[in-house]
Structure 1
Amino acid sequence: MFDPYSRHAARMRKQRRHALALRLCQVFSRASKQVKTTVSPFKVGDYLAGDDPFNGSKEGVVVVIKGPSIGLRTVVPTGGTLVYYDYRQLRRPW
């Protein structure tokens, strides 16, 4: 007859709990990585126009993409400064 309190049954329950905890850790880790990384519709080298109340309206080429922030290398008027915009504030100028 099966004894639910035997050492073997206790060991099996412990292994199942450990496997479940490991799987949940993997699922939550993958979910947190997906939340932190946003997919930008733009690529490095695209020519974009950004409109922001703090940075103003500027056009430039995408140089850096870090999460939701996109760095534009502007040409006019300061000559080559890097301005960061949220990807939702950018559009194609045409």
Structure 2
Amino acid sequence: MGTDNYAQDLSRMGEPVSIRDVLGRALGRMARAFSPQCPYRVGDTVIGDDPFSGRREGVVVWRDRRSVGVKTTYGVFFYDHRLVRLLD
């Protein structure tokens, strides 16, 4: 009656992989490992100090490799992670 049984899709197993693809994936992982990363986590209380949007205190609600979104009483502001520091 019900089709609750699932089977793994084996259509890609056994396909040949080129050396170019393997090296490309490995070099991509290495480049990401050495690229700058944001040290803040979602939920951290921080101060963002930017000459254009000013100094704002808030909580990190979004983070990327190089930037953070800080939620303040005035809205969400996005800062480069180098312009943000933890609240004392």
Q: TM-score, normalised by structure 1?
A: 0.62
**Post-superposition offset of 1:39:** 2.5
After superposing on structure 2, the runs of 4+ consecutive aligned residues of structure 1 that deviate more than 6 Å are none
Query: Which structure shows the bigger proportion of residues in helix conformation?
Result: 1
* Distance in 1 between residues matched to 2:42 and 2:25, nearest whole Å: 31
Q: Give the equivalent residue in structure 2 for 1:86.
A: 80
* Equivalence map 1:48-87=2 (5 Å): 48-75=46-73, 78=74, 81-87=75-81
**How many aligned residue pairs are there?**
71
In 1, the alpha carbon distance for the partners of 2:56 and 2:41 equals 18
What letter is aligned with 1:27? Answer: A
Secondary structure of residue in 2 paired with 1:71: strand
**2:22 pairs with 1:30:** no
Q: What is the aligned-residue identity percentage?
A: 34
Normalising by structure 2, report the TM-score. Answer: 0.66
Alpha-carbon deviation of 1:23? 4.1
Cα RMSD (Å) of the superposition? 2.0
Structure 2 residues without counterparts, runs of 5 or longer:
1-17
Q: Which whole-Å CA distance do the structure 2 matches of 1:72 and 1:84 have between them?
A: 6
Change (3 A) 1:22 1:53: same
Rounded to whole Å, the distance in 1 between the matches of 2:44 and 2:72 is 12
> What does the per-residue CA deviation read over 1:15-57, in whole Å, with 9 as the maximum and x for residues that have no partner?
xxx54x4443232222343356x42221101110010111110
Structure 1 unaligned residues grouped into runs of 5+: 1-17
